[in-house]
Chains A and B, each alone.
Chain A
């Protein structure tokens, strides 16, 4: 470490200093993935109802935001429910219902206006247009819209004829839809199946051989059993395809925890490669018990290549795999120091980290942003796998957790991941359920709260600041609005010029109210966030 410190001194003496500071100040904050997304892209979902379009749209959006490409879902259903407050029955979706057709088309136009506002004004890079888009006419309209605005288009069509899958889908997410407030399950199922029939009449799937052979798209067939990929144009489309090919819908749980308490933890030192403390070993034993109690069949165990995680895994008596990329954030010149020492030795660095913890890179080390990029293959593989227990480190666990819970770059470095606590993540409907297990072995607290003086500023970032930055946002953060409008809500400024819908109203007064919810006890997932599927 001495060498690294010395290096810092040498560098700051040298003539390059000016240049460096300059670089640092102008450092682009955007992620690599964002860099590579040259022109704004509209991802257009296609498919009959209950084909998992919204599931894919939301999941993809969460992933893209996490890797640092600002993305937002525009769900047409939400617009439609705004326009038509009371849903009666599938009659509304009959293709010969002229009045309803008009309303639906208007909704699409409003949503597209919002897409435009998002991509042109709000710094968005990808908009996911989540609707059935089952007719060529509708897709033609979108193609023209994209052409006028110089957006790239990528279609994601979900095709599924397995009745069991469709039924499960309806039961999972549709019966709880606001369209069906007080009905019993069977009539919902019946109505919804009829609704699907309405769409079937006019459904024109993408035709890779003739009509649509020049479009860029992926067809996801029978829930990922098969894929047809046509004319991938660029980096981000290739990433999207790779992601969609790796996700699956089998039920599984991911368990995240940190290593047992280490000697460095006890001393308050960061980084390093210390061994477990006595209590750390007790935790490892408690973890073994936990794994046994939960009867986790086929559980895969992953660790980093640092001793404390390997020691923890060794106690379990099961095979495990080591990933170097799960290693703790590299604190560079600050490795093995306490926060206090850092504050003394590098007061400026210390202050900078507090200012923008996500982007702050330790001299000779890493930032959270670097970490997210490093961890991407882990996420990809977690998506592929069944039950996995990941024994990792505080900063690493925060990054992984932020992916599953859709947390923004702002919140990510302050997520609470205490020692000796296991988080169980189970995908449900459109989100992820979190169960927390405190294994009742005492440990030091390694969490440093967000400094108070910055709290106000960082909690509610001024719109201007956010606008053109490429900081990962959570999918929800994209629209800080009351929960009722939490998906696909049009931006106000633009609505005024857009085709208006008579009954569309926005309660501006309550804007931002939701924000205050996020800072409760533990990452805010104790209550509200455990259910991300609230799409009302």
Chain B
């Protein structure tokens, strides 16, 4: 018998009611192809960009709503062995060290398991060199025993320049070399690489590893070898890896100039620019000239206000319908006050869970993330781009670059007449916020106080909500984190781990509230 359908009030999704149980949160507009959890295993010598790929991929997967976490074995090792002395530690014949490293890997795998089994994780990225077949066999066995799919990403690179710049950029500042100068660090690290080289067994697509699923990224994306893709998520990962690049570039995000609807406080619509909006467009033209960018691409939405803004620049631009503002359905063209008056219930629902809330006959932020995904993919492919878009769209894009969770995304501050300049650095993204000195109305609505500590986390348990990429467990030793996985099940040698200093890779962010409360979102609720 067909079941009765009821509409989920927040997401406006029709769900069958069964046994009075509230329907679970649904994935975004597309099926999430409920697959067994996946372990992504990085393979490659040190300084081949494994951690870069791991972190970037993790950020992307979290953003598209696939809970993903990096497990960096190096961090476990640094926990276990507090004082790194030299590359001697990585010599294959250093038996004691080999043992410690093995145990660190086991500890990390144990955490992978609890992340995928108990904490709602879908993808775990196991970031280590994994250069020997022994180690990979162990991981395969681990995957097999737990019903996890295993996908390898091997980074192969022989260009000495790339390796050197990689070392300079992220390795010499690594905590291992806290007390060294750059030259010493460089030298030691190169010796470290040599230690691995003796035992390195690359993936062999022709014989030994021909049945495994993997991608080899060769010479920083110049070539790829892809073997036996198994499912939707692996195919997405491969596509993503093939589109990212490491050329230095800058992305500029801004909204259209102030529109006449902005002045009246109206949502959506397709109005033209206000006089101040036109001033902003002129200021933007000036700004773009000042930046002296060759080959700057300009993208707009297909709405009048963003096109009018781009028109002032006097350069070619491209229109994306996918960049159009969130569709507020029946609330289009209303002011917040009117919405509150006409649809008080809807208004309250939106405050309750702004990310999931879908306007009747319109869209949610969740829908928006899906809609702008091709834009992100193309942004990754491009070099310098200026995107002239809209408040909600800009929040979605920004959340991707700054690794913000679904909880924060709809409240990110993207004021009018302000350009955000995003520059990729090391593992993250630097943000500068440039106010172009043209006044505009404020269109930001803060998170309402009364629901700030709302029930958000409760419903989050099994949902596919974009999360910020979590830091590894051992790195967030805050006493108040009662939900941390217990450390006692680690092997003895690692159990002695003391809690270490915070991340050594701070992201420089301006204007945004950096300290995000990850545990709020991540924690599996009791």
Contacts and interface: CB of A to CB of B under 8 A. Distances in A.
B381 A324 contact: no
Contacts of A1: 330, 361
B224 A235 contact: no
Contact of B304 (A19, A238, A284): A19
A324 B330 contact: no
Contacts of B243: 238
Contacts of B28: 324
Interface string A11-47: 1001110011001000000001001100000000000
Interface string B328-352: 0011111000000000000000000
Contact of A11 (B239, B270, B330): B270
Given A284-B2, A324-B29, A7 B269 contact: yes
A322 B26 contact: yes
Contacts of A346: none
A311 B7 CA distance: 12
Given A16-B271, A32-B320, A238-B242, A322 B13 contact: yes
B141 interface: no
Contacts of B226: 226-229, 245
Contacts of B287: none
Contacts of A324: 28-30, 367, 370
B3 to A, nearest CB: 6
> Chain A, interface size: which category?
35 or more
A305 B13 contact: yes
A314 interface: yes
A323 B332 CA distance: 24
Nearest to B328: A3
B272 A19 contact: yes
B64 to A, nearest CB: 12
B225 A321 contact: no
Contacts of A321: 31, 33
Contact of A384 (B232, B331, B334): B232
Contact of A7 (B5, B332, B381): B332
Contacts of A36: 378
B222 interface: yes
A6 B29 contact: no
B377 to A, nearest CB: 9
Nearest to B206: A226
Nearest to B3: A314
A311 B2 contact: yes
Interface string A228-265: 11111001001001100110000000000000000000
Interface string B1-13: 0110101000011
Contacts of B320: 32
A335 interface: yes
A247 B457 CA distance: 40
B369 to A, nearest CB: 12
Contacts of A310: 5, 14, 16
Contacts of B330: 1-4
Pick from B308, B330, B333 the residue with the most CB of A within 10 Å: B333
B250 interface: no
Given A16-B304, A229-B226, A305-B14, A323 B30 contact: yes
Interface in B246-302: 260, 269-272
A235 B378 contact: yes
B223 interface: yes
A36 B260 CA distance: 32
Nearest to A319: B34
B2 A35 contact: no
Given A242-B239, A323-B31, A377-B30, A311 B5 contact: yes
Given A19-B308, A314-B2, A307 B225 contact: no
Given A227-B225, A315-B2, A384 B272 contact: no
Interface string B94-130: 0000000000000000000000000000000000000
Contacts of B361: 1, 273, 335
B308 A305 contact: no
A440 interface: no
Contacts of B2: 284, 311, 314-315
Nearest to B4: A314
A314 B242 CA distance: 39
A213 to B, nearest CB: 8
B238 interface: yes
A377 B236 CA distance: 11
A373 interface: yes
A155 B362 CA distance: 43
A149 to B, nearest CB: 24
B231 to A, nearest CB: 8
B321 interface: yes
B224 A227 contact: yes
A307 B5 contact: yes
Contact of B228 (A19, A20, A225, A273): A225
A325 interface: yes
B74 interface: no
B381 A238 contact: yes
Interface residue SS majority, chain A: helix
Contacts of B13: 305, 322
Interface in A60-98: none
Nearest to B320: A32
A11 B381 contact: no
Interface in A282-326: 284, 302, 305-307, 310-311, 314-315, 321-325
Interface in B42-97: none
A228 B5 contact: no
A364 interface: yes
Nearest to B318: A35
A1 B223 CA distance: 51
A197 interface: no
Given A3-B330, A245-B229, A208 B223 contact: yes
Pick from B14, B31, B378 the residue with the most CB of A within 10 Å: B14
Contacts of A267: none
A230 B242 CA distance: 10
B132 interface: no
A245 B7 CA distance: 37
Contacts of A306: 14
A273 B232 CA distance: 30
B384 interface: no
A6 B333 contact: yes
A381 interface: yes
Nearest to B211: A225
Contacts of B239: 238, 242, 245
Contact of A229 (B5, B224, B321): B224
A351 B271 CA distance: 25
B503 interface: no
B307 interface: yes
Contacts of A364: 332
A23 B331 CA distance: 26
Contacts of B378: 36, 235
B29 A3 contact: no
Contacts of B7: 307
B126 to A, nearest CB: 23
Contacts of B205: 226
Interface in A157-190: none
Contacts of B381: 235, 238
A477 interface: no
B311 to A, nearest CB: 9
Contacts of B304: 16, 19-20, 23
B423 interface: no
Nearest to A327: B29
A306 B318 CA distance: 32
15 contacts: A3-B331, A7-B270, A10-B333, A14-B272, A32-B321, A227-B226, A238-B239, A242-B239, A245-B235, A306-B14, A311-B2, A322-B26, A323-B29, A324-B30, A325-B29
Given A16-B270, A245-B226, A322-B14, 4 more contacts: A23-B304, A238-B239, A245-B229, A245-B238
Closest 7 pairs between A and B when the two form their complex, measured CB to CB: A324-B29, A321-B31, A314-B2, A16-B272, A227-B226, A229-B224, A7-B333
